[in-house]
Chains A and B, each alone.
Chain A
Amino acid sequence: MKPEHMIRAALLGAVLAAAQPAFAADIAIAIGSEPSTLDPQQRDDGDERAVTDNIYETLLARAPDGTLEPGLAAAMPEQIDPLTWEFKLRDGVSFHNGEPFDADAVVASVARIIDPDYASEQMAYLSTIAGAEKVDDLTVRIMTGDPDPVLPARMYWMKMVPATYSADPAFAESPAGTGPYRIAAWNRGESIALEANPDYWGGAPEIDGVTYRFIAEGGSRVAGLMAGELDLVRNLYPEFLGAVPNSTAVPGLETSVIVLSTENPVVSDPKVREAMNIAIDREALAQALFAGRAQPAKGQLVNPKSFGFNPEIRAYDYDPDRARALVEEAGATGQTVTLVGEAGRWLKDRELIEAVGAYWAEAGLTVDIHIEEFGEYLNQLFDKDHRPDAIFVVNSDELLDADRPLTAAMEYGASYASNADEEMAAQIRAARAETDVEARKALYGEITMKGYEQSYLVPLLNQEDIYAMSDRLSWTPRIDAKLLVKEMSVSE
């Protein structure tokens, strides 16, 4: 070995020693912002979930492909009447602070999160739940206000907290769950460290400890990964795919969509709306903007992995000639269509909006694009009286069920739907309360098909979640985007 090589090797060694944590099986993960609390029932925040998903558990869990399976419940729940679901609980589980996980803990967890004074942001996922009651130590019943077929998916969302300690103000800073990791340290502003829970009911996890660092800027996260300070970074910009040591992607929960108003002039014509759909080359958008890490949406807003996805519907064809002909037939050539969007909230949002505007212009429409500040954009998104001709939004289907996306985008009057289709609204409400699985699926089949035929929406892309990893980390990402450290391992 030449002397300069030795020096370089020594320097490299020193750098690596300085950059790597003391224990080989400790990893570091970057999240975008510091959680404001580690109380897992309060906020609706993806960065907080990245941490608390490892500390806390839910009655039902999901396999990596999205299938619901028992978590803290011993088996899938049984619906004993339209408003009541019975859960049998896993025996011998306890919280990190020693409190037992039992029916009392479930009842307390439910009562806590639905308490109006507690003002949980997660009630947007859980508002059908009316309460819970204990049957015996390991059996609990959960009641809903209306029949709710989505209840099992909701119980995949609601984290279980200890009955007594969760009332302590210290709980938000020093959490105690049943999960494979427990809190080791929280250095405000710097990092949160978790350590393996040796008593975990599912067996001690492979990785001993994990440190979360709060890095908002995408470029800084990549730099941290390149310098060997980080092992896992999510939401990687597609541009950086070539720069990082290792990367992986999985179909994600997010679908970009444009909601069309059926009541405004020009877009009220179904021909124009169809033209707006087939004018867009989605494949080209996926390639050019997302480096291929996105798929053309299958003619509907429902995620392909969700309950209620209609496999009969194909992606809208790209047919610019027919689009132009349809616009002309409708007498809309040269007419103005307003497209409202925002910039910076979602990956490549502005680029996507502008590209769609250009495709529509090619079909003969005059497109007036408004990129608004996010607060103003939300005002327009939720304004019931003045619907924009077209408004861009990205839907994230956390519960993997058609109810939320369809309610938001197509139920007249409920949230940001731009149609006035009372019949469809009634169908969506009926499906929400339909407890017969097959009947419910059939209803969603009809709803999504009608939405497709009427072109109420312009579904754009099913986006993939892109993760960058260090060379030593092995992990298969999950459809539900959870970063479960117990599923990761390091090679060294």
Chain B
Amino acid sequence: MAQFLIRRALQGMLVILGVTLVVFVATRMVGDPVQMMLPLSASAEQRAAFSQQLGLDQPLGTQFLAFVGDLLRFDFGDSLWQRRPAIEIVLTKLPRTLELIAAGFGFAVILGVPLGALAAMRPDGLWDRIIVSLSLIGLSVPQFWLGLILVMVFAVGLGLFPTSGSGSLSHLVLPALTLGIPSMARIMMLTRSSVIAELNQQYVRTARARGLPFAHILFGHAMRNALVPVLTLAGWEVISAWAGYTVVVETVFAWPGLGMTAMGAINHSDMFLLQAIVFVVALGIVLVSLLLDLLYKLIDPRIDLA
């Protein structure tokens, strides 16, 4: 176990380092922040002077060494765009994105798993058909469109929630739904097929023949096995939301999270801020995958982590 943790931590550090370096090179190759920041009609001389003031006229190699040196001391530098420490910006935006993911994803799991199991009880029954149809709708609608429709119906039409913004629980409802509905649909579908497969297993038939109550069979045995693939999917949902899928929802609902900040950093060619965002996101992904591995072990003790 300890060996496993150490190995994964080392792997994780390599991933994070690799990703940040790629971002450094990519941001320097794609856009010149000075061109982005000054008005277009600024003269070549004005741009050169500004570049010098920001220290961006140094050779790329020199800048790269300085960057790596700072990174080793966990200093991400100041955001070019906002002129304050990049990591500070990331840390103020981070909780807002986590809040959104927790709400959207919590909703997806709390509804998706039981509904999927309910559908699996009687495949092709009434509940199954309703649930499968609903999840197909949830899977097919584009997220930005779903968000705008929710706004038109529940905010503009019925006035139940604010159209956008943040700061209260009622602000959270529509963005969380928009983020959660496609995830819920996927989780529901997978739980359904996974539970159906388990219920057809030999051990379930044996348990039924022995006269065990169905609820005990379902929750005590079948669900536990069926949840392993669901957990994999759930982990993927969290990671993909975390790695940038929230940006659509954040844009539609003017939610001040990390996704919007990343967009701003890209639009300003702000490599220092982007660097800090990517670092924190990569760290999060490494941690979530580690957590998932540990959860597998908890659900199914047969899984060997070493």
Q: Does A91 contact B (CB under 8 A)?
A: no
Of A121, A223, A395, the contact of B40 (CB 8 Å cutoff)? A395
For window 18-46 of B, CB contacts with A under 8 Å fall at 30-32, 35-46
Stretch at the interface among A272-280, A321-329, A408-416: A408-416
What are the 5 closest A-B residue pairs judged by CB atoms, nearest first? A375-B31, A189-B256, A15-B159, A124-B42, A36-B82
Of B35, B155, B165, B253, the contact of A378 (CB 8 Å cutoff)? B35
For window 73-119 of B, CB contacts with A under 8 Å fall at 79, 81-84, 92-93, 96
- Least CB separation from A188: chain B residue: B92
- Least CB separation from A384: chain B residue: B44
Q: Does A393 contact B (CB under 8 A)?
A: yes
- CB-based contact A36/B40 at 8 Å: no
What is the distance, in angstroms, from B38's C-beta to the closest C-beta of chain A?
Answer: 5
- CB-based contact B167/A187 at 8 Å: yes
List of A residues within 8 angstroms of B123 by Cβ: none
Of B37, B92, B254, the contact of A216 (CB 8 Å cutoff)? B254
- CB-based contact A124/B41 at 8 Å: yes
A119-B53, A227-B163 known; 5 new pairs, CB 8 Å cut-off, are A15-B159, A36-B82, A121-B37, A223-B156, A375-B31
Distance of A363 Cα from B164 Cα, bound (Å):
47
- CB-based contact B54/A415 at 8 Å: no
For window 65-124 of A, CB contacts with B under 8 Å fall at 116-117, 119, 121, 123-124
List of A residues within 8 angstroms of B31 by Cβ: 374-376, 378-379
What is the distance, in angstroms, from B277's C-beta to the closest C-beta of chain A?
Answer: 15
For window 276-293 of B, CB contacts with A under 8 Å fall at none
Given A215-B254, A376-B30, A408-B41, A224-B164 contact (CB < 8 Å): yes
B residues touching A (Cβ–Cβ < 8 Å)?
30-32, 35-47, 49-50, 53-54, 79, 81-84, 92-93, 96, 148, 151-152, 155-156, 159, 162-167, 251-254, 256, 260, 263-264, 267, 269
Of A33, A223, A408, the contact of B164 (CB 8 Å cutoff)? A223
- Least CB separation from B39: chain A residue: A124
Of A36, A119, A375, the contact of B50 (CB 8 Å cutoff)? A119
Distance of A15 Cα from B158 Cα, bound (Å):
8
List of A residues within 8 angstroms of B260 by Cβ: 216
Distance of A381 Cα from B46 Cα, bound (Å):
16
Distance of A54 Cα from B107 Cα, bound (Å):
43
- CB-based contact B156/A226 at 8 Å: yes
- CB-based contact A127/B46 at 8 Å: yes
- CB-based contact A227/B156 at 8 Å: yes
Question: By the criterion of a CB under 8 Å from any partner CB, how many residues of chain A are at the interface?
Answer: 58
- Least CB separation from A216: chain B residue: B251
- CB-based contact B167/A398 at 8 Å: no
Q: Does A214 contact B (CB under 8 A)?
A: yes
Q: Does A198 contact B (CB under 8 A)?
A: no
List of B residues within 8 angstroms of A374 by Cβ: 31, 36, 267
List of B residues within 8 angstroms of A215 by Cβ: 164-165, 254
List of A residues within 8 angstroms of B82 by Cβ: 36-37
List of A residues within 8 angstroms of B81 by Cβ: 36
Of B32, B43, B163, B166, the contact of A223 (CB 8 Å cutoff)? B163
- CB-based contact A124/B159 at 8 Å: no
- CB-based contact A382/B35 at 8 Å: yes
| Between-chain CB contacts (< 8 Å), 21 pairs | A11-B159, A14-B159, A33-B264, A36-B82, A124-B38, A124-B39, A124-B43, A189-B166, A213-B164, A213-B254, A214-B256, A215-B254, A219-B148, A224-B164, A227-B163, A374-B31, A374-B36, A378-B32, A382-B44, A396-B39, A396-B41
List of A residues within 8 angstroms of B263 by Cβ: 216
Q: Does A24 contact B (CB under 8 A)?
A: no
List of B residues within 8 angstroms of A381 by Cβ: 35, 40
Given A119-B53, A220-B163, A44-B35 contact (CB < 8 Å): no
What is the distance, in angstroms, from B93's C-beta to the closest C-beta of chain A?
Answer: 7
Of A37, A223, A373, A415, the contact of B44 (CB 8 Å cutoff)? A415
Distance of A15 Cα from B37 Cα, bound (Å):
42
- CB-based contact B41/A34 at 8 Å: no
- CB-based contact B254/A407 at 8 Å: no
What is the distance, in angstroms, from A59's C-beta to the closest C-beta of chain B?
Answer: 21
- Least CB separation from A393: chain B residue: B40
